[in-house]
């Protein structure tokens, strides 16, 4: 299976004159500024992990742990264009998107519902919690 599907995230501004900064982890824990932008209400910034498209920055790294800072409220959505649920052995192209809550809203208890395979059997869940 040699198909180039991609994951990524989008940032949506809720208000005009919103300054947004995207920081990545480098050198084992130090953050470096990857990109900054001045956004207007409903502007959308799209970042992909492995697809180069006109006007879209190419990121060949995993965006896990990326830090997004904004001067006004924003929405951040993460997703994948073609995830294989439950595994890559099952040829289904599932488009997955979720809104990522602000760090300040995260607590110590998290609910992770099980992922069901195509026969409605619990296939298990894999979670990556950074912090």
Q: Which residue has the higher pLDDT, 15 or 113?
A: 15
Is this model's pTM higher than 0.75 or not? no
CA gap 99, 113 in Å, rounded? 16
Please say if the pLDDT value at position 79 is more than 80. yes
Q: In the chain, where are the structural domains located? A: 7-124
Phi, then psi, of 104 in degrees rounded to 5: -65, -20
Residues 6+ apart with CB under 8 A from 35: 21, 22, 57
Please say if the pLDDT value at position 51 is more than 70. no
Q: Which residue has the higher pLDDT, 50 or 63?
A: 63
pLDDT at res. 59 = 47
Please say if the pLDDT value at position 104 is more than 70. yes
Phi, then psi, of 103 in degrees rounded to 5: -55, -40
């Amino acid at each position: 299976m040699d198909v180039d599907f991609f994951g990524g995230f989008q940032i949506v501004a809720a208000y005009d004159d919103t300054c947004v900064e995207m920081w990545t982890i480098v050198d084992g824990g130090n953050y470096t500024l990857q990109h900054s932008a001045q956004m207007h209400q409903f502007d959308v910034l799209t970042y992909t992990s492995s697809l180069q498209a006109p006007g879209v920055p190419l990121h060949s790294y995993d965006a896990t742990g990326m830090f997004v800072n904004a001067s006004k409220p924003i929405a951040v959505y993460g997703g994948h264009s073609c995830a294989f649920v439950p595994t890559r052995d099952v040829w289904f192209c599932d488009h997955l998107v979720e809104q990522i809550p602000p760090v300040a809203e995260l607590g110590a208890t998290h609910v992770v519902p099980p992922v069901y395979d195509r026969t409605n059997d619990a296939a298990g869940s894999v979670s990556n919690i950074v912090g």
